Amino acid sequence: MNKSRIFTGIVTALVVASVVAAYLQPSPSDVARAHVSQQGTPAESLSILSSVSSNSIVAASATVTFQVKGAVPPKKLFVAMGRPVYFLPWQVVEYREEAAE
């Protein structure tokens, strides 16, 4: 085999692997729900109020807002996430609670 075929094969394998890795990553809402659960709020008591994401190959971001069912007083939970490249997992960059109106 010549060097250009080996190089082409390696590049093709890396591209395919990155696309497969991207599809295997959980959605931003799943990552946010898991993070909120780790903070002590049961996942079954959350309803999504909004989910906004800006997906790109580089530097994607997402924000998920939850309403906590049955909370007195009512409260909202905000989870902001980012990922440097499309095939890496979402990382929580901000988490905050606010009183719902």
Split at pLDDT 50, 70, 90, the class of 1 is: low
| pLDDT at res. 83 | 93
Average pLDDT of the segment spanning 60-79: 91
| Whole-structure pTM value | 0.82
Upstream peptide bond of 73 is cis (omega within 30 degrees of 0): yes
- Average pLDDT in the chain: 91
| pLDDT at res. 60 | 92
Model confidence pLDDT, tens digit, residues 21-31:
888 999 999 99
Burial 2-11 (b: 16+ CB within 10 A, else e): eeeeeeeeee
Model confidence pLDDT, tens digit, residues 86-96:
889 999 999 99
CA 79 to chain centre: 10
